[in-house]
Amino acid sequence: MTGRQDWIAGPGRALQGRVPVPGDKSVSHRALMLGALAGGETRVSGFLEGEDTVATGRILGRMGVRIEAPAPGERRVRGVGLHGLQPPAEALDCGNSGTGMRLLAGLLAGQRFDSVLVGDASLSTRPMRRVVDPLARMGARIDTAADGTPPLRVRGGHPLLGATHVLPVASAQVKSALLLAGLYADGRTRVQEPRPTRDYTERMLAAFGWPVEFAPGVASLAGGHRLHATEVLVPADFSSAAFFLVAASIVPGSELWLPGVGLNPRRTGLLQVLQLMGADIEVHEPREQGGEPVADLRVRHAPLSGIEVPEALVPDMIDEFPALFVAAACASGETLVRGAGELRVKESDRIAAMARGLRVLGATVHERPDGAVVSGPLSRGGGVDALGDHRIAMAFAVAAQCTPGPVRIRDVANVATSFPGFAGLATACGMGLEPGPAG
Ligand code: S3P
């Protein structure tokens, strides 16, 4: 992170134009990791130039993987093979990235050398036992701080054995860590989830030639194969598109086009929920890109009505709740969110962060342990705190387009972790958003 930064946001005007949101964060992390462990050169295009994914690239570089960036959004990964990583000379810094740290924990558990994973202040408070405990059942030796948080000290040289994991939490990060460890394990590793989560690791392993069986909610693979370099085309990140879907929905007169957005069914819960609320979003030219469904989205302003968010959709929109809370505060009636307790252990406690800020802007929010009841309207501007959480910052920038007065959003620098060009794209399509002195 590059020091404290604030925004002064809104009010805006009708949003118009084409918004090319950057590449998918989940796919970008995995492309580098699998490319590093493959034989041959993996070419990645549409790579997210965000701090999180760049940190993963730097970590792989510390372990001897050559990654070239011939142009922005392009990577050439010279794979070193499953057993070709070199011991790192120092601790590996994942920055703000839970995905980076948890997936790397699985990958590093299978190495012959020791390593240490560290992160920034936010990541250093996040729960890691969810990944360390099941890895230990495969034979991994990983120490955490006493309360189960980073740093992670991974002891290498312990042989891994395949295991069957029945996960208590729906988490693609945990599932992926176990599958990555499973590449190094003797025998079969199976993962069963309480609800299906994003399946990029499974899809990408198959694209790299590793035999893997998967269906919604289950995945399994055996050790003892090889990864073969391939080409990865990263779709635009639905989670970044989400802010513009909500912004255009709530600002009268808006119409935006979002090209090439990834529509993996495990990511598009917000699309369904916004449509249930009355949003006018059309899916144009659905196609396949690098094994992933993508399409161009057209979104136009429409009056929204509050709903009860179907609990089964929660994992399919787990990163979209900050944006949804804003839509809910601009809708008529109440919106009820349940079964989303995971939001409390994201980059911030996203239920508390959104509740606090939306109340400042005039909304009514009743917090529950696993969700909230939200209703509008957003009747005033004011000062809100993003708490260094990228998605909270962007959600409040969107909310500010509908408040009568400007909103000062504190601590927004981490937007660069997932969406470095957000402010530029937002202002280009008509959002009111300027840097403000940190205060
Ligand atoms: C991710 C999984 C989700 C998501 C995160 C990215 C991934 O986290 O919130 O932004 O790439 O696997 P959990 O596994 O903690 O739900």
Q: How many domains does the chain have?
A: 2
How high is the pLDDT of residue 2? 53
**Is the same domain home to 276 and 376?**
yes
Q: From 318, 392, 414, give the residue whose CB has the most ligand 1 atoms within 8 Å, as the site to mutate.
A: 318
Q: Read off the pLDDT of residues 203-215 as tens digits, 9 standing for 90 and up.
A: 999 999 999 999 9
- Could you say which DSSP state residue 345 is in? G
62 sits in the region (left: phi over 0; alpha: psi -120 to 50; else beta) called alpha
Q: What DSSP string runs through 354-365? A: HHHHHHHTT-EE
How high is the pLDDT of residue 4? 84
Q: Is 1 contained in some domain?
A: no
**Is the same domain home to 201 and 241?**
no
Spacing, Cα 379 to ligand 1 middle (Å): 33
- Cα distance between residue 323 and residue 398, in whole Å: 8
Q: Read off the pLDDT of residues 307-346 as tens digits, 9 standing for 90 and up.
A: 999 999 999 999 999 999 999 999 999 999 999 999 999 9
- Looking from the CA of residue 171, the nearest atom of ligand 1 is 14
Under a CB-based contact definition with an 8 Å cutoff, are residues 178 and 165 in contact? Answer: yes
Q: 218, 233, 248: which is the final residue of a domain?
A: 233
Tell me the percentage of the chain whose pLDDT exceeds 90: 97
Q: 191, 211, 233: which is the final residue of a domain?
A: 233
For the beta sheet containing 364-368, the strands, ordered from the edge strand earlier in sequence to the opposite edge, are 335-337, 371-375, 364-368
How high is the pLDDT of residue 329? 98
pLDDT greater than 50 at residue 282: yes
Q: Read off the pLDDT of residues 114-146 as tens digits, 9 standing for 90 and up.
A: 999 999 999 999 999 999 999 999 999 999 999
β-pairing, 407-410 with 382-385?
Answer: parallel
**Is the same domain home to 210 and 62?**
yes
Structure confidence at residue 439 as a pLDDT band (50, 70, 90): low
Omega of the bond leading into 11 within 30 degrees of 0 (cis): yes
Q: Is 267 contained in some domain?
A: yes
**Which residue type sits at 382?**
G
Residues 6+ apart with CB under 8 A from 180: 33, 103, 106, 107, 110, 201
Q: Which domain holds residue 282?
A: 6-23+235-436
* Active site residues per annotation: 319
Structure confidence at residue 437 as a pLDDT band (50, 70, 90): confident
**Is the same domain home to 170 and 299?**
no
* Binding pocket residue ranges, ligand 1, CB within 6 Å: 26, 99, 171-173, 176, 198, 318-319, 342
**Is the same domain home to 189 and 293?**
no
- Looking from the CA of residue 170, the nearest atom of ligand 1 is 16
- Compute the mean pLDDT over every residue in the chain, rounded to the nearest whole number: 97
How high is the pLDDT of residue 290? 84
**Is the same domain home to 134 and 34?**
yes
Q: 233, 248, 282: which is the final residue of a domain?
A: 233
Any idea what the CATH number is for the domain that residue 430 is in? 3.65.10.10
- Looking from the CA of residue 319, the nearest atom of ligand 1 is 9
Token digits of residue 100 = 């980076």
Q: pTM to 2 decimals?
A: 0.98
Structure confidence at residue 1 as a pLDDT band (50, 70, 90): very low
Spacing, Cα 350 to ligand 1 middle (Å): 14
- Could you say which DSSP state residue 309 is in? P
Q: Whose CA is nearest to atom 10 of ligand 1?
A: 319
Q: Whose CA is nearest to atom 5 of ligand 1?
A: 99
Spacing, Cα 245 to ligand 1 middle (Å): 21
